[in-house]
Amino acid sequence: MTERHGLDLEDLRVFRTVAEAGSLTAAATALHYTQSGVSRRIARLERSVGATVFTRLARGVRPTPAGDLLLRHADDVLRRVDVLVEDLEAHRAGSGGRLRIGSFQTAGSSLTPSALARFRRASPDVAITLVEGLTASLLEQVAEGTLDVAVVSDYPTGRLAAADVDLVRLLDDPLLVALPAGHPLARRRRLHLADLADDTWISAGPARDDTVLATAARRAGFTPRVDIRVASWVAKFGSVAAGLGLTLVPGLLAGSAPPQLVLKRLDDDLPPRRVFAALPADRPTAAARAFVAALVETLA
């Protein structure tokens, strides 16, 4: 930098708006500035960073290589400042702020909403958003700062890891087998996976030999016959209830199974699914930490 006073945050916000709009005039309109006011802020920013950040075109502007570099960092800097301000305001008021939560589908059936209800009773003024997604995507969003906390899962055979994310172990969720109530083995007290070798199965996704079902069945000495592949648990439960096959069910979903199904533990070494809360590694918000505490209390 050519000057020692550093960057002005409002200059950085104006720069980002100009880059997104592609025009000083359009940015001035969006920000309720005059065009000369936008120009002055861009000029001051260029002095601060010691480089030209925009190339002037016949119509509008585009970032220079230095501007592209600055833009990549500007979003992160401004996001962190926004979160800081919200946290400080919530701290001053004793409540408030926002909480952006992500959850994988199974946890969304009971664990996440129960913990969220507990959190909301304690912090009614916090603005809450909840989205559902796959674990890999949720971890990326926590690392990028678009989510404050996420409930994610993995099996012990996986490699659940993400840069800039801390994981808090919540529980080990056992796998059950769902049988139709009229299945010949539905009343048996002890059940092994091998006892179900002649049954058809219901699974999700394309055929693979490294799924939990395929791996466990291989250890039990058979290859499962999968006739129906559906992703939603409503469709899986409906198919089992209709007698079209069996399916493995996480324990977290046991309370959602219809009465036409019987859920049983298997006397096999089926790995439980590990469930975690994912938080930003650098500085989780107070609301995110409080929500993790609500998850732990809900499980207790």
Tell me which residue of 5, 75, 12 sits closest to 45, measured CA to CA.
12
Residue 2, SS3? coil
How wide is the angle at C-alpha 275 spanned by C-alphas 151 and 160, nearest 5°?
90
pLDDT mean across residues, the chain:
87
> Do the two domains 9-75 and 175-270 of this chain adopt the same fold?
no
Q: What is the sign, positive or negative, of the torsion defined by CA atoms of 113, 161, 79, 134?
A: negative
Residue 55, SS3? strand
Cα-only R_g, the chain: 26
Helix count and strand count (H, E) for the chain: 9, 12
pLDDT value at position 79? 82
- Say whether pLDDT at 269 is over 90: no
Domain 175-270 grouped into CATH 3.40.190.10? yes
CATH fold of the domain at 95-172+274-299: D-Maltodextrin-Binding Protein; domain 2 (3.40.190)
Q: What is the H or E stretch that residue 241 is in?
A: helix 233-241
The pLDDT of 112-126, averaged and rounded, is 92
The pLDDT of 37-54, averaged and rounded, is 92
CATH class of 9-75: mainly alpha
Per-residue pLDDT reduced to its tens digit, 270-287: 888 899 999 998 778 888
d(CA 99, CA 89): 14
pLDDT value at position 2? 40
In the chain, domain spans? 9-75, 95-172+274-299, 175-270
